[in-house]
Amino acid sequence: MTDEAALDAAALQRFLDHAEPDRGPAVTSLRPISGGYSRLSALATVRWADGSEESFVLRADPPPDTGVFESDRDEEFQLLRSLHGKLTVRTPNVRWYDSTGEYFGAKTLVVDFFKARPLPEVVAAEGIPRATEIFVDTISRIHTSPLDAMPAELARPPDPQGYVDDLVDLLRRLDRDVSDSNPFVHYAAAQLRAHRPPPMPLTIVHGDCQPANVLVPDSGEVLMIDWEFGRIGDPREDLGYYSHLPVPPNLYEADPAGFLARYRERTGATEEQVNADTVSYFYVLGMARLLGQMFAGADALAQGRPRGVMATYMMNGTAATTRGFLDIARRLAASAA
């Protein structure tokens, strides 16, 4: 691997010449596309010797020791391979994987391009209620899918309550290995520990559950993308994570009661398990891992290992997030007073 991923047409050509030597690939276009906060992405078109054309999305690791949000490309590859065709929503079809970075300079997934609109475009065209139906139904389908769709080697938490307790401990330990302290997470963790919600069966958790990751075709099932934080966990982590996501329009904030009623109807969850309070509770837990990565990104600079401006820029996100934690902790404390 090199320091910089080379998501260019020449690299893809070399890669396909190696991966599909008998099909006569010719890369006809490749352009960078937005890959969110954490990955480098590109859209490419390839013409095969038989005259057919296909488009692919390339998704590569950023240069080492840069960026804020880290995930494991090998695990994402295993997860996508395992999920494909097993859920009632579509998941990306991985065609090839440069697992060593030999061709692209970084580990790179090559997946089929899917012609569809991101769900936020549906909001603009068809309104919030329709988009909310699509989003809630997509989440519900993921959360009601059998766990054996996940890779066999993926860690299975022992039980729902123990899993939640472990997440609270994770939250409490977020600043243990960094050089700054964050009292907000300790107060939130203490209140979460004191006010545990009723357990729910563990499910597939997407980990970055937001409308931008739902692609809606003109017909047929939607495609859920960006599974890099996918895991087995409490389904309310996805609900909580999205509930406070500050990307307008937030489909949850538009009508929390309607959003959750539809989710309960689709999943069979009870109102005791899924309500505005439990969603807030799991907002804190659903953000814990990302917040830990934001702490680590800022701490790297404090230790003389800068990871780029995103890490310091995201200190604003840390402040906004922990302020939200305080509000939720305060409500939990007040509910018991």
Partner 1 sequence: MLSRPTTEQILLDCCRELMTGVLPALTDETAIVRVVMVETVMRNMAVRSAHEIAWMHEEIAAIEGYCRSVAAVVPDNSELTEALPAAGAAPARSLHLDDVVEAYVRAGRAFSAALEAAVASGDQDLMKRGEALLDSRADIETEVMAGWSPTGR
Footprint of partner 1 on this chain (CB under 8 A)? 34, 36-37, 172, 175, 179-187, 189-191, 193-194, 212, 246-247, 309-310, 312-313, 315-317, 319-320, 322-323, 326, 329-330, 333, 337
Q: Whose Cβ is closer to partner 1: residue 23's or residue 186's?
A: 186
Rounded to a whole number of angstroms, the minimum distance from the CB of residue 187 to partner 1 is 4
Rounded to a whole number of angstroms, the minimum distance from the CB of residue 256 to partner 1 is 20
Q: Whose Cβ is closer to partner 1: residue 124's or residue 320's?
A: 320
Q: Whose Cβ is closer to partner 1: residue 61's or residue 274's?
A: 61
Q: Whose Cβ is closer to partner 1: residue 66's or residue 145's?
A: 66
Rounded to a whole number of angstroms, the minimum distance from the CB of residue 272 to partner 1 is 23
Rounded to a whole number of angstroms, the minimum distance from the CB of residue 281 to partner 1 is 15
Q: Whose Cβ is closer to partner 1: residue 159's or residue 327's?
A: 327
Rounded to a whole number of angstroms, the minimum distance from the CB of residue 160 to partner 1 is 23
Q: Whose Cβ is closer to partner 1: residue 120's or residue 235's?
A: 120
Give the list of residues 6+ apart from residue 193 with CB closer than 8 angstroms, or none. 165, 168
Rounded to a whole number of angstroms, the minimum distance from the CB of residue 225 to partner 1 is 13
Q: Whose Cβ is closer to partner 1: residue 37's or residue 114's?
A: 37
What tokens does 18 get? 């190696």
Cα dihedral 229, 235, 241, 245 in deg (nearest 10): 110
Rounded to a whole number of angstroms, the minimum distance from the CB of residue 305 to partner 1 is 17
Rounded to a whole number of angstroms, the minimum distance from the CB of residue 185 to partner 1 is 8
Q: Whose Cβ is closer to partner 1: residue 16's or residue 284's?
A: 284
